[in-house]
Amino acid sequence: MTFKAPVKDMLFAMQHLARLDQVAQLPGFEEANLETAQAVLQECARLNEEVVAPLNWEGDKQPSWWQDGNVITTPGFKEAFREYAEGGWQGLQHPVTFGGQGLPKTIGAACTEILNAANLSFALCPLLTDGAIEALLTAGSEAQKRLYIPPMIEGRWTGTMNLTEPQAGSDLSLVRTRAEPQPDGSYKLFGTKIFITYGEHDMAENIVHLVLARVTGAPEGVKGISLFIVPKFLVNPDGSLGARNDVRCVSIEHKLGIKASPTCVLQYGDQGGAIGYLVGEENRGLEYMFIMMNAARYAVGLQGIALSERAYQKAAQYARERVQSRPVDGSVAGAAPIIHHPDVRRMLLTMRALTEGCRAMATVAAAAYDAAHHHPDAETRRQNQAFYEFLVPLVKGYSTEVSHEVTSLGVQVHGGMGFIEETGAAQYYRDAKILTIYEGTTAIQANDLLGRKTARDGGAVARAIAQQIAATEAELAGDGSADALAVLVRLQAARQAFEEVVGFMVAHAKSDPVAAYAGSVPYLMLAGNLVAGWQMARALLAARRALAAGEDAAFMRAKIATARFYADHILTRCAGWRDSIVGGHAAVAAMALEAY
């Protein structure tokens, strides 16, 4: 099947929900209007539809492989990455000062989704490089920025994030990789890192590893962790490459999905010590690494949306073509394409509504990020930063859990053919599973949402969002159409369920943490569902206005129908989560541990 980037829906979300016109008024983004966004997205779509997407299934059939310390990527990846880099796509959102294009996240996020929908395994390399660039922009010295960032933006070098060790997964206090200070100001690193995405490959001249390690004599726990630049090839002061550093890929993992992306085990210091350079100050490494992690968490949420879009497109095409059985209403005399069957349409609409709802949520979050970093008013920046930070675990957690549901439905629409690898539906399902795990599992996102984003401020940001949702409810009431009034009923009930849960979490987070955290993932799912449903309600209102103005009637009617379906079939899940959180928390801890 041919992938088609959903440019029209992306532009709709930017224009009507994220208010791109307001983003374009921010200092530095004056050229980032709807016309610019359309031109960028269309060119991004062309590259990915024609060059990157055709390699997706090939990568699943012929993954990257390891041989004598080297990783050879899927045939065609190296050439595609060169074209991606030469097009300037790696620098899309990065500063012009270092060779980037300086576009807002609102536009960049859409391009990230397109790339990931085209080929998730391929897109992971640029994703990690973006994170490395962000970390160095924030914490690196001026010399480090000048030396390492431009080659990564140019795509000549790539970046990685080295956190995990065999004994230290989510608990980074257990990191053992050690760094020994040297007389010249550098450090020598010794240790093993696992699950390093694109930790070794053949697509770039150099790889800039950002590594968490513990300086000799540092405090125990997370307070003693520092961040280091450890390049695959040492870099001379003029930017040219020097000797090979003492970091080697000793194996790659064999995985359920994302098979073309090499997931490496890296060994540091087997031959005397890998030379590294401290980023920022000693013992602040986790703080700096969180910059990469937050950027990556949002991007992983986009990966979930991307896979959902790809699975939906494939399922919808199959449903239009697969002839099987007579429709129950007799609308066709004999056997008809399965899209005539009510349950197939229910599955397709579920896939579509979840995808569009998550895309709308992520687009609005991106606009908040842009305002938080570029708005001239300090209070506006603060409010947008708080809103964005609340949404990041929702974009990451909810959108990736949704992708698992959507890709599973994609297999189901195909029936038995979905279970056959050659149809391609199964690859999206297998690829989706990792999204709920890496860059922080869904439970970690939920703990962040509950502890840092809700309990810490007494639910202030959560309740402020509920007030914004109530304002949208008033708009729905003012619209007065049957669709708007039906969505109003569902949105109001979901918002009230959310407010009840926020109150429960604030009351119990400290006094009875087991009761609160037993419902942390359902809380995340409720919040993500609500915020996505809120954006779909706003989309319905925008589509009705556009329809009245005579704009693209077919698209607007489909948007209204999708938003109505979301309200009737997806927002209604919120009450169940509320009941399980508030009334069912005791059941989670009721069973004795030895009974499991």
Which residues carry out catalysis? 439
Tokens of 374: 């570029």
What is residue 418's three-state secondary structure? helix
DSSP 341: S
Do the beta carbons of residue 455 and residue 502 sit within 8 Å? Answer: no
The CB density around residue 572, as the number of other CB atoms within 10 Å, is 15
Give the dihedral of Cα atoms 134, 136, 139, 145; nearest 10 deg.
-130
Element (H, E) at 336: none
Sign of CA dihedral 11, 152, 269, 70: positive
The size of the chain, in residues, is: 596
Residues in contact with 183: Cβ distance below 8 Å, sequence separation at least 6, in sequence order:
none
Sign of CA dihedral 395, 397, 400, 403: negative
Which candidate, 349, 350, 355, 345, places its Cα nearest to that of 320?
345
Name the phi and psi angles at 278, rounded to 5.
-65, 135
Residues in contact with 51: Cβ distance below 8 Å, sequence separation at least 6, in sequence order:
80, 83, 84
Cα 540 to Cα 374: distance, rounded to the nearest angstrom: 29
Which candidate, 105, 88, 210, places its Cα nearest to that of 150?
88
The secondary structure of 49-90, three-state, reads HHHHHHHHHHHHHCCCEEECCEEECCCCHHHHHHHHHHCCHH
Which amino acid appears at position 29 of this protein? F
Element (H, E) at 194: strand 187-197
Would strands 187-197 and 225-231 be described as parallel, antiparallel, or unpaired? unpaired
Sign of CA dihedral 564, 566, 570, 574: negative
Tokens of 549: 């103005």
Q: How far is CA 362 from CA 90, 299, 365, 369, 535, in A?
A: 20, 10, 5, 10, 10
**b/e map 241-260, b = 16+ CB within 10 Å:** beeebbbbbeebeebebbbb
Do the beta carbons of residue 264 and residue 64 sit within 8 Å? Answer: no
Q: How far is CA 324 from CA 152, 329, 334, 421, 426, in A?
A: 51, 14, 9, 21, 21
The CB density around residue 401, as the number of other CB atoms within 10 Å, is 23
